């Protein structure tokens, strides 16, 4: 038994990728809201035949978009899916706060009664999910038709891909309690970093530095910081060998200047906090294979999507917080 335990500990350290159920070393911490959201999604699955993880993927996308924008109201209930008054009540409805399913239908509104209380309330979680499912259900419940329905609802390819990635993650882990993070390199390694956000960069034209540089030795493992899906992997003339991961909060994590990748990681792979995705290097600033134009380090960037566009924001405070959390957790063990 001790030999097997030793094997698994060593394997995890050198980056072996185990099946999802084995790789999740830390038990999720369930909040009351997590439990309620999952129960609601599964109830809607029973009613509509749409898999619960599709509801979870859509809802998580909407929640993240509403957090990133100021023109939408903040989420007040369990569900973040948003219908405007016009969408819900109908464009010709004289009552933009209409909750009568019959009159809403007459005026061409989308709002429906999802819990059989005779009211179609766009602030009610079950009514929101049921109304959304009615729109999507017109296209079918299999994956391809669901994606077609999503495109017709959002009219944005990026929204469809992000939602399907979210659903893929939730389906794999069977829970929505996926809030854990990890620091980007092992704490035991020799590394250093400071806030380099906004520094000037000259290669490829004058530009600002959109990220944080973590200086470390060649070959130091680089870890995923969140639960997510690999969207990009390969060469970029600025970032060298780089990998891009979209997490379930609609944040794109950019890891650049790697010396190599974890061979088990590919585009579309699901990753979790602490999983090794590559190794520190000094690649970039030239055609494929260019290396050594600067000291070895990891460039780590974070980009947020608001449903229309994507922009970079300073990752330094998050890195410091994850470093501190991981250090405290290691001391408690």
Contact 115, 124 (CB under 8 A): yes
For residue 208 the two structure tokens come to 């600002």
Query: Own/partner pairs for 192-199, CB < 8 Å, 24+ apart?
Result: 192/216, 193/316, 193/319, 194/316, 195/314, 195/316, 196/316, 197/314, 197/315, 197/316
For residue 316 the two structure tokens come to 């330094």
Distance (Å, rounded) from C-alpha 52 to C-alpha 40? Answer: 9
- Give 105's contacts (C-beta < 8 A, 6+ positions apart): none
Distance of CA 234 to the CA centre of its chain: 20
Strand locations in 102-218, DSSP E?
191-193, 200-201, 207-208, 212-216
Q: How much is the pLDDT for 200? A: 60
Instruction: Give the dihedral of Cα atoms 116, 119, 122, 123; nearest 10 deg.
Output: -80
For residue 242 the two structure tokens come to 């780089």
Domain 191-330 has CATH 3.40.630.30: no
Q: How much is the pLDDT for 312? A: 92
Domain ranges of the chain: 33-173, 191-330
Q: How much is the pLDDT for 208? A: 62
Q: How much is the pLDDT for 4? A: 41
Closest CA relative to residue 256, chosen from 291, 209, 295, 298: 298
Ordered per-residue pLDDT tens for the chain, 333 residues: 444 434 333 333 333 333 333 344 456 667 899 999 999 999 999 999 999 999 999 999 999 999 999 999 999 899 999 999 999 999 999 999 999 999 999 999 999 999 999 999 999 999 999 999 999 988 988 899 999 999 999 999 999 999 999 999 999 999 999 999 999 999 999 999 999 887 666 454 445 668 999 999 999 999 999 999 999 999 999 899 999 999 999 999 999 999 999 999 999 999 999 999 999 999 999 999 999 999 999 999 999 999 999 999 999 999 999 999 999 988 876
């Amino acid at each position: 038994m001790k030999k097997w335990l030793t094997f698994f500990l060593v394997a995890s350290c050198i980056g072996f990728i185990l099946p999802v159920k084995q790789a999740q070393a830390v038990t999720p911490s369930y909040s009351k809201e997590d439990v309620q959201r999952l129960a609601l999604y599964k109830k809607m699955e029973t009613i509509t035949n749409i898999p619960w993880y599709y509801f979870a993927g859509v809802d998580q996308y909407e929640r993240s978009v509403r957090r990133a924008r100021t023109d939408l109201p903040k989420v007040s209930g369990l569900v973040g899916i948003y219908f405007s008054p016009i969408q819900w009540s109908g464009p010709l409805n004289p009552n933009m706060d209409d909750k009568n399913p019959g009159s809403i239908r007459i005026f061409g509104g989308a709002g429906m009664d999802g819990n059989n209380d005779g009211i179609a309330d766009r602030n009610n979680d079950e009514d929101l999910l049921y109304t959304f499912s009615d729109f999507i259900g017109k296209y079918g419940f299999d994956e391809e038709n669901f994606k077609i329905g999503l495109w017709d609802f959002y009219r944005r390819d990026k929204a469809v891909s992000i939602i399907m990635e979210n659903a893929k993650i939730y389906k794999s882990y069977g829970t929505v309690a996926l809030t854990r993070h990890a620091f980007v390199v092992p704490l035991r390694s020799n590394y250093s970093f400071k806030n380099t956000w906004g520094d000037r960069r000259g290669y490829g034209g004058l530009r600002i530095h959109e990220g944080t540089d973590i200086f470390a030795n060649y070959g130091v493992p680089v870890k995923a910081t969140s639960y997510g899906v690999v969207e990009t992997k390969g060469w970029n003339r600025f970032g060298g060998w780089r990998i891009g991961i979209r997490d379930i909060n609609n944040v794109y994590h950019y890891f650049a200047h790697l010396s190599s990748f974890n061979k088990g990681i590919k585009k579309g792979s699901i990753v979790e906090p602490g999983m090794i995705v590559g190794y520190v290097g000094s690649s970039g600033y030239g055609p494929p294979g260019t290396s050594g134009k600067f000291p070895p380090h990891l460039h780590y960037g974070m980009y947020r999507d608001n449903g229309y566009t994507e922009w970079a924001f300073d990752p330094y405070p998050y890195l410091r917080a994850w470093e501190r959390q991981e250090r405290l957790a290691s001391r408690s063990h």
